A and B are shown apart, each in its own frame.
Chain A
Amino acid sequence: MTTRFVIVGLCSAVLALGQAAAPPGTSASTPETPRDQARRLLQQGRTLEAEQALAKLTASNPSDNEAWFLYGVLKYLTGYHDAAVQHFETSLALHARNYPARSMRAICLVQLGRLKAAETSIKELLITPEGAADLDLAIAHSQLLYENGSFQRAYDEAARATRLSLSNGMAHYWKARALWKLNRLQDAIPEAKAAAALTPQHSGSHSLLLTLYRAAGLAAEAQQEADWLRSFEERRAKGAGK
Chain B
Amino acid sequence: MRTLLVLLTLAATGAAQIRFEETSARAGLKVTVRNGATGKFHLVELMPGGLAVIDFDADGCPDLFFTSGAALPGLEKTSGQENRLYRNDCRGNFTDVTAKAGVGGSGYSMAPAVADFNNDGFPDLFVAGVHRNLLYRNRGDGTFDDITAAAGFGGSKNWSIAAGWFDADNDGWLDLFVSNYVHWDPATEKPCGLAGQLFYCHPDQYAGQTHQLFRNNRDGTFTDISAASGISRVTGKGMGVAIADYDGDGRMDVLVVNDSLRSFLFRNRGDGKFDERALEDGIALGENGRPIASMGVDFRDLDNDGRPDAVVTGMVNDSFQYFHNQGAPLYFEDASSASGLALATRSLTGWGAVVADFDNDGWKDLFFANSHFPRLGSLMGLKAQLPNRVFRNRDGGRFEDASAASPALASAAFYRGAVAADFDGDGRVDVVVTALGSPAQLYRNTTPAGHWLAFKLTGTRSNRDGIGARIEVELEGGRRLYNHASTAGGYASSQDPLVRFGLGLAQAAKAIRIHWPSGITQPVPITGVDRVIRVTEKAPLP
Chain A residues in contact with chain B, CB under 8 A?
A: 1-4, 48-49, 51-52, 75, 78-83, 85-86, 111-113, 115, 147, 177, 202-208, 210-211, 214-215, 222-223, 226, 229-230, 233-234, 236-242
Q: Which of B193, B330, B381 has the most CB of A within 10 A?
A: B381
* Inter-chain contacts of B260 with A (CB < 8 A): 1-2, 236
* Inter-chain contacts of A3 with B (CB < 8 A): 202
Stretch binding the partner chain, chosen from B62-70, B281-289, B474-482: B281-289
Complex contact B285–A207 (CB within 8 A):
yes
Judge whether B78 is part of the interface by a CB distance below 8 angstroms: no
11 residue pairs from A and B, CB less than 8 Å apart: A1-B200, A1-B373, A2-B203, A48-B193, A83-B380, A147-B342, A202-B289, A226-B280, A229-B285, A233-B291, A234-B235
Complex contact A237–B261 (CB within 8 A):
yes
- Chain B min CB distance to A84 (Å): 8
On whether A203 and B330 interact (CB within 8 A), knowing A80-B379, A237-B236, the answer reads: no
Complex contact A49–B194 (CB within 8 A):
yes
The one of B194, B207, B343 in contact with A48, judged by C-beta atoms closer than 8 angstroms, is: B194
On whether A233 and B262 interact (CB within 8 A), knowing A2-B292, A204-B289, A223-B280, the answer reads: yes
Complex contact B315–A240 (CB within 8 A):
no
* Inter-chain contacts of B46 with A (CB < 8 A): 1
CA distance in complex: A202, B291 (Å) = 11
Judge whether B317 is part of the interface by a CB distance below 8 angstroms: yes
Complex contact B342–A1 (CB within 8 A):
no
CA distance in complex: A115, B204 (Å) = 31
Q: How many A-B residue pairs have CB under 8 A?
A: 122
Size of the B side of the interface (Cβ < 8 Å), in residues, is 49
Complex contact B289–A238 (CB within 8 A):
no
* Inter-chain contacts of B458 with A (CB < 8 A): none
- Chain A min CB distance to B312 (Å): 14
* Inter-chain contacts of B206 with A (CB < 8 A): 240-241
Complex contact B289–A147 (CB within 8 A):
no
- Chain A min CB distance to B236 (Å): 6
The one of B197, B282, B293 in contact with A214, judged by C-beta atoms closer than 8 angstroms, is: B282
* Inter-chain contacts of B262 with A (CB < 8 A): 229, 233
Complex contact B280–A222 (CB within 8 A):
yes
* Inter-chain contacts of A2 with B (CB < 8 A): 202-203, 260, 292-293, 315, 318
Chain A residue, CB-CB nearest to B183: A240
Judge whether B228 is part of the interface by a CB distance below 8 angstroms: no
* Inter-chain contacts of A237 with B (CB < 8 A): 207-208, 234-237, 258, 261
Complex contact A4–B290 (CB within 8 A):
yes
Chain A residue, CB-CB nearest to B346: A113
On whether A113 and B342 interact (CB within 8 A), knowing A81-B317, A223-B280, the answer reads: yes
* Inter-chain contacts of B237 with A (CB < 8 A): 237
CA distance in complex: A214, B360 (Å) = 37
Complex contact A233–B261 (CB within 8 A):
yes
- Chain A min CB distance to B380 (Å): 4
The one of B203, B234, B292 in contact with A234, judged by C-beta atoms closer than 8 angstroms, is: B234
- Chain A min CB distance to B238 (Å): 10
Q: Closest 8 CB pairs between A and B?
A: A207-B289, A204-B289, A83-B381, A237-B208, A240-B207, A226-B279, A113-B346, A237-B235
- Chain A min CB distance to B282 (Å): 7
Complex contact B346–A82 (CB within 8 A):
no
Interface of chain A, main secondary structure: helix
Judge whether B382 is part of the interface by a CB distance below 8 angstroms: yes
- Chain B min CB distance to A90 (Å): 11
CA distance in complex: A113, B341 (Å) = 11
* Inter-chain contacts of B365 with A (CB < 8 A): none
Judge whether B205 is part of the interface by a CB distance below 8 angstroms: yes
* Inter-chain contacts of B337 with A (CB < 8 A): 147
CA distance in complex: A202, B183 (Å) = 27
CA distance in complex: A225, B236 (Å) = 19
CA distance in complex: A15, B8 (Å) = 61
The one of A86, A177, A215, A222 in contact with B381, judged by C-beta atoms closer than 8 angstroms, is: A86
* Inter-chain contacts of A4 with B (CB < 8 A): 290
Known pairs A81-B317, A234-B234, A236-B204; list 20 more (Cβ under 8 Å).
Answer: A1-B202, A1-B259, A1-B293, A2-B292, A4-B290, A48-B197, A51-B194, A75-B380, A79-B317, A80-B381, A83-B382, A112-B347, A147-B343, A226-B280, A230-B234, A230-B279, A237-B208, A240-B205, A242-B204, A242-B205
Q: Which of B207, B291, B318, B343 has the most CB of A within 10 A?
A: B291
- Chain A min CB distance to B141 (Å): 43
* Inter-chain contacts of A1 with B (CB < 8 A): 46, 200, 202-203, 259-260, 293, 315, 373
CA distance in complex: A218, B487 (Å) = 37
The one of B234, B279, B380 in contact with A80, judged by C-beta atoms closer than 8 angstroms, is: B380
Chain B contacts with A in 285-318, Cβ cutoff 8 A = 285, 287-293, 315, 317-318
CA distance in complex: A206, B284 (Å) = 12
CA distance in complex: A133, B288 (Å) = 25
Complex contact A214–B330 (CB within 8 A):
yes
CA distance in complex: A2, B46 (Å) = 14
* Inter-chain contacts of A206 with B (CB < 8 A): 289
Chain B residue, CB-CB nearest to A115: B343
Q: Which of B258, B285, B337 has the most CB of A within 10 A?
A: B285
Q: Mark B198-224, 1 if CB is under 8 A from A, else 0.
A: 001011111110000000000000000
CA distance in complex: A204, B262 (Å) = 12
CA distance in complex: A66, B202 (Å) = 29
The one of A52, A204, A208 in contact with B194, judged by C-beta atoms closer than 8 angstroms, is: A52
- Chain B min CB distance to A138 (Å): 18
CA distance in complex: A3, B262 (Å) = 15
- Chain A min CB distance to B162 (Å): 16
Chain A residue, CB-CB nearest to B277: A226
Complex contact B280–A238 (CB within 8 A):
no
Chain A residue, CB-CB nearest to B210: A237
CA distance in complex: A233, B204 (Å) = 11
* Inter-chain contacts of A147 with B (CB < 8 A): 337, 342-343
